[in-house]
Amino acid sequence: MLRATVSLAEDRDEEQEDEGEEEMRDGGVPFYVNRGGFPVDEETWERMWRHVARIHPNAEVLAKEIRSATDLPKIPIPSVPSFQLTTTVPQRLEAIQKYIRELQYNHTGTQFFEIKKSRPLTALMDIAKEMTREALPIKCLEAVILGIYLTNNMPGVERFPLSFKSQYSGNHFYHIVLGVYSGGRFGALGMSRREDLMFKPMEFRTLTDLVQEFEGAYRGYWHTLRKVKIGQYVSHDPHSVEQIEWKHSIIEVDKLSKEELRKELERHTRDMRLKIGKQAPPSPTKDRRNSMGSPIRGPGSPNRRISRVEKRCPRMETNNV
């Protein structure tokens, strides 16, 4: 009976992962998602502050100070990186990671951009554009979408989702980065509270080396890496209607020897290479793209950017991965 209960819980956990619901738990702690787009509606705004009041040790005083202030300093808006033709791929990726980091990690307990993994790539790229306009703090899944958007004009760089499930003190933790491959080397872009769980320079000769680098980082935080999910290469066409393949391979790391893990990752690398050169589904026509519109901006929303000064969220530090 106990085994059946555990099995049901694991199955439910897998279903949540399949639908992207792992990003609804931050280190095992539930958080909200802004599903109303921008400008942020009043209900979402007040709910965020109530959540802050529950999780911050000095929330009442903090909230009062911030919400009643009339002279809050203006927060600088990071500039989207642009490149010269002579800028190398590693330099471009480092600049993109610097931009992602400058947006800062979102500690508010409310994810500002709703990411549904089942959406077509063109819709997710609309959300990425919204991220650059709003310049708000983001979480790891948002960083993956933004990384895809910012590397679309780099045809020599292949991108793929790389997600992790780790365990610490009986709790499961979920994280995702954007794996990158170019010139025979692997690396990663992303966002995390932990410096060594996001960006990885283009210096890893194999996918195995890259995964083992992340596994070592997890060990440094006393986490056991349980599972790795690796997606296929993502199309460079921002108007593609295909979906991102988030989990072409699912590898239970803790059940494999190092040699078995290496063989599984080599097999996935071969599978990814086969996709290069395959004909992608045709992009929608201009009329169809116009009819699709932005998936997160309602028809009644004004076409302007809400500045951080108008609606600013407190920054909070936590100890989760």
Catalytic residues: 140, 175, 192
Neighbours of 12 (CB within 10 A): 11
Burial zone of 310 (CB within 10 Å; 0-12 exposed, 13-18 middle, 19+ buried): exposed
Asked, as a colleague might, if the bond just before 57 is cis with ω within 30 of 0, I would say no
Q: Is 147:141 a contact under the CB 8 Å cutoff?
A: no
Spatial distance between the Cα atoms of 209 and 188, rounded to a whole number of angstroms: 12
Selection from 277, 280, 273, 269 nearest residue 120 by Cα: 280
Give the tokens for residue 307. Answer: 């500045």
CA distance 146 to 290: 21
Which helix (H) or strand (E) covers residue 66, if one does? helix 59-68
8 A C-beta contact, residue 31 and residue 313: no
Residues 115, 46 contacting (CB under 8 angstroms): no
Give the DSSP H/E element, type plus range, for residue 123: helix 121-134
